[in-house]
Amino acid sequence: MGAYSYRALNERGRVVKGVVEGDSERQVRGQLRASQLKVIEVKAAASRQQPEASGGSSWRLGLLRKINHRDRTLITRQLASLITSGLPLDECLKATARQQRKSHVKEILLQVRARIVEGNTLARALAESPGSFDEMYRALVRAGETAGYLGPVMEQLADHTEASHYAQQRLRMAMIYPLVLLSVSVLVIGLLMTFVVPKITGIFAHSQRELPALTEALIGLSHFAVDYGLWLLVAVIALIVGLRRMLQVPRLRLHWHRCLLRIPILRGIIIESNSARFAATLGLLVSSGVPLLDALRIAGQVLSNLVMRNAAGDAALAVQEGGSLNKALDQSGLFPPLLVQMVSIGEANGALAEQLGFAARNQQRELELMLATALGIMEPMTVVVLGGIVTAIVLAILLPIFELNTLI
């Protein structure tokens, strides 16, 4: 049984779309006709998939459209509640899919259910949609299935995804005001230099007297903005696009990430944010029964900075060779001392998962405090810089006016 997407006409002659389960396209058409629908098109959900050549299977869940973080959080919470209530797994997936409004989300869940009905494990079914369910997600599901505690593990995973999503939203909301302020400042200055200043300074341009240096500079900048402003904007956009493509090269991206860690304030923010995600993910994996080496490898993937990701990989190798995790993390010099200390305590008393959770919460608080401090400095600095630029423009205009009697 698989998932099929359809388009049909209802009794009012309106086109309706949806996703249903069926053994074949013919059976699905019969179901739709029995529901008083006039079928326009029926196709297997796999027609929008990207088949993999490996394994000889052409039926893969790599849908072009992925489940975003918010939908995945909601799905995880729903599945955790249903599994804990004692419903069979296929019924849990069917009920969860029925509640989804987005057709591509429903298709993915129904395809996962179809694989479960065929006898596959949930982790293996989710592995065929890696874009929607990452490796950490699948590792936790696999650990829960192996230990026979899938419901509680899904509850932990739901809590983790919700907390992660909430933390990301708070960071984004904190960045909105300074970014808007900076954008408005650049826009205002650009409009002043392009439209306002040329009209005002035009009366001085043909003067035979020497103008103040500030006014001359303002007139030159204004002419440059009018003549080459559009080309400058195109050049900036091209530069940004070029940099983004250059950073797709691993070697260049690694060098860029290493440079970012040399900027004092930015270094602290990068280390705190990555360490918080690393500690939270590693703690969740360890508490769910995932072996430490596998947990380290998976948790390292959540590190957005390549230098720190390589350091986590080196730590995993050191642990594999028999070393302690806290010494391996400490040798890198990139992870905060508190995280290293909590790992050391956890290794000593056998409560590594609990200590990692404590460290993750502490790193998150430190990150929020650091961001608040940085933004608190950035906001008045932006206002001061904008005020200084506007003041310079006003002075450049007023200075010749004060000498207007000598210019005439």
Question: What distance in Å separates the CA atoms of residue 85 and residue 100, rounded to the nearest whole number?
Answer: 20
Strand pairing partners for 63? Answer: 49
Q: Which two tokens stand for residue 199?
A: 């009209």
Tokens 């010494």, residue located? 327
Cα-atom radius of gyration of the chain, to the nearest Å? 30
b/e map 113-142, b = 16+ CB within 10 Å: bbbbbeeebbbbbbbbbeebbeebbbbbbb
Question: What distance in Å separates the CA atoms of residue 308 and residue 301, rounded to the nearest whole number?
Answer: 10
Q: Hey, what domains does the chain have and what are their CATH numbers? A: 2-133 (1.20.81.30), 149-408 (1.20.81.30)
> Would you give per-residue pLDDT tens digits along the chain (408 residues)?
556 777 777 777 777 776 666 666 776 777 777 777 777 777 776 433 443 333 333 334 344 467 887 888 888 888 888 888 888 888 888 888 888 888 888 888 888 888 888 888 888 888 888 778 877 788 778 877 876 778 887 887 888 777 777 777 777 777 787 778 778 878 888 787 777 777 776 666 566 667 778 878 887 887 787 788 788 889 989 998 988 888 888 888 889 999 988 888 788 888 888 888 888 888 888 887 888 888 888 888 878 889 998 998 888 898 888 888 888 888 888 888 988 899 899 988 888 888 988 888 888 888 888 878 877 787 788 788 888 888 888 887 777 777 665 545
Backbone angles phi, psi at 39, to 5 degrees: -70, 130
Over residues 267-285, the pLDDT tens digits come to 888 888 888 888 888 888 8
The pLDDT value recorded for residue 3 is 63
Distances (CA, A) of 215 to 190, 211, 383: 17, 6, 23
Q: Where are the alpha helices (DSSP H) in 35-149?
A: 69-84, 89-98, 103-117, 122-126, 135-147
